[in-house]
Amino acid sequence: MFKTLLTTYFLIECKNKIVSLFLLNHWITMFMIRINTTSGSRFLNTVLLVLKYIVKMKFHRIDIKSNEIAEIFGVTEGTAREWIRDVRAAFNKNKKQKITIAEFCSYKGVPYKSIFCQINKMKFTDYDTQLLDGFIEEPKGILIMQKSD
């Protein structure tokens, strides 16, 4: 039964997330009720609780791209790419390394919450509730790394 549960979870990753996650969440809840009434093991109950938490948790993007910067700030793609290059230089990142929303916001001095919500298409109230529930972590502080000569 547990193997079926894990297989179902991994199959859901590829399909429509909203409907499938709802169905899996319902299935896990029903399975937990059945285990609790039939005095199941504590380990299985714990694993099911963790899986239910994973299902509720939604994964959010934390990187930012130049086309999103251009759209959010109303600048050209060239200006957005120039800003990305400036952030890469400030944080000593290679060309292949991604720039996070937190790094961009700390470098440009814009609020993290507003950029995060625009990129992930989320309302501010949803952000606040997910922050309180622990599904989102707000960055504490980011230091700009200076190149040493």
Distance, in Å, from the CA atom of 21 to the CA atom of 13, rounded to the nearest integer, reads 9
DSSP state of 106: H
Mean pLDDT of the chain: 74
Distance, in Å, from the CA atom of 1 to the CA atom of 6, rounded to the nearest integer, reads 9
Provide CB contacts within 8 A for 23, sequence distance 6+. none
Phi-psi region of 121 (alpha: psi -120 to 50; beta: other; left: phi over 0): left
Instruction: Pick from 21-30, 78-87, 126-135, 138-147 the range whose average pLDDT is largest.
Output: 78-87
User: For 79-116, what is each residue's pLDDT tens digit?
Assistant: 999 999 999 999 999 988 999 999 999 899 899 889 99
Distance, in Å, from the CA atom of 93 to the CA atom of 57, rounded to the nearest integer, reads 30
Q: What is the percentage of the chain residues whose pLDDT exceeds 70? A: 62
Q: What is the percentage of the chain residues whose pLDDT exceeds 90? A: 24
* Confidence label for 1 from pLDDT (cuts 50, 70 and 90): very low
Q: What is the largest CA-CA distance in the chain?
A: 68
SS3 category, 84 = helix
pLDDT > 50? residue 138? yes
Domain-by-domain residue ranges, the chain?
A: 2-56, 66-133
Distance, in Å, from the CA atom of 137 to the CA atom of 149, rounded to the nearest integer, reads 35
Residue with tokens 């504490």: 140
Mean pLDDT of 65-71: 93
Q: Are 100 and 60 in contact (CB under 8 A)?
A: no
